[in-house]
Amino acid sequence: MTEFVDPRYKQIDIWPTRTALAALWESQLAAVAAIEPALESLSKAVDLAVARLSKSETGRLAYTGAGTSIRVAVQDGTELGPTFDWPDARTAYLVAGGQRALMYSIEGAEDDFTDAIEQVVENCIGPDDVLVGVAASGYTPFTVAALKKARVAGALTIGIANNPGSPLLEEAEVSILVDTGAEVISGSTRMKAGSAQKIVLNMISTQVMVGLGRVYEGLMVEMRPANIKLRKRAVAMVQAIAGVTAAQADSALEIADWKIKNAVLIASGEKPDDASEILKRSKGNLRTALDRIR
């Protein structure tokens, strides 16, 4: 369907700019709407991913794909560090054509299934890992081969595609179909399909982080306060959660080396070493840790 030529848009090259933009805008709304039927599959994917990544401290959330799909996926993965303090070592990218393909088009890379298999092996993708494969068509040989190899290796595999009945969805342990249909510009999957992929990836990774205890009451309590703006946000978080003054929150954060969850416990009256131990026993979950001291 993503390659289908929609007769509604055959005259787009001679439409007034305002009319053409309205059509593109409407297509983006359709991309969002196409996600709703996939919510059940998304829920399954998240629950299984949380269970898998909770089993060890080294399991990775990995992404694979080609072209637009992998570029969108890399954007999703790289934001997990600063937002949720997800370790860089626990993220991996299997890119058709290698890292250079993130900025330049590498001809034929998406057809190289041998490279996909080699990248799965080189990255030691295995039972502790979750591999998310993304391809608008669902037919990309590189992505399908990577998912197939990773599944044999024991990884949890999640496939995201925009065409029903595609090989990627058949190979994945959890398949997520987001049927966005024909594009305004035929085959330009950086549009509707790409937008839907970004939303789906954001939803999966965000809810996985929530499930892993990296969010408390809607707050990014694992955030890395790497600049003035984020340090102010961290102070406000500790202040709100612990019920202390801004000065007390700032002091607790200084003692905790700007680790928000530790600072909350310190501001609540715990000694620094005790705060670390309580969090350890609570598997890093702040809600559980607070329940222990209240």
| Per annotation, catalytic residue among 79, 118, 170, 173 | 79
Residue 279 located in a structural domain: yes
Question: What is the per-residue pLDDT for 290?
Answer: 96
Domain boundary among the residues 211, 245, 269 is at 211
Question: What is the per-residue pLDDT for 190?
Answer: 86
Query: What CATH number is associated with residue 84?
Result: 3.40.50.10490
| Per annotation, catalytic residue among 3, 36, 40, 110 | 110
Spatial distance between the Cα atoms of 30 and 37, rounded to a whole number of angstroms: 12
Residue 227 corresponds to which tokens in the numbers above? 């600049």
* Domain coverage including residue 243: 228-293
Question: What is the per-residue pLDDT for 1?
Answer: 62
Question: What is the per-residue pLDDT for 90?
Answer: 98
Spatial distance between the Cα atoms of 178 and 37, rounded to a whole number of angstroms: 8
Q: Both 64 and 133 in a single domain?
A: yes
Q: Both 58 and 189 in a single domain?
A: yes
Whole-prediction pTM:
0.92
Residue 222 located in a structural domain: no
Which regions in the chain score pLDDT beneath 50? none
What is the three-class DSSP state of 215? coil
Question: What is the per-residue pLDDT for 2?
Answer: 62
Q: Is 122 among the catalytic positions?
A: no
- Tell me 220's DSSP state: -
Q: Both 122 and 157 in a single domain?
A: yes
Question: What is the per-residue pLDDT for 79?
Answer: 96
3-state secondary structure 107-127: CCHHHCHHHHHHHHHHCCCCC
Q: Is 40 among the catalytic positions?
A: no
Residue 35 located in a structural domain: yes
Q: Both 187 and 247 in a single domain?
A: no
Q: How many helices (H) and strands (E) does the chain have?
A: 13, 5
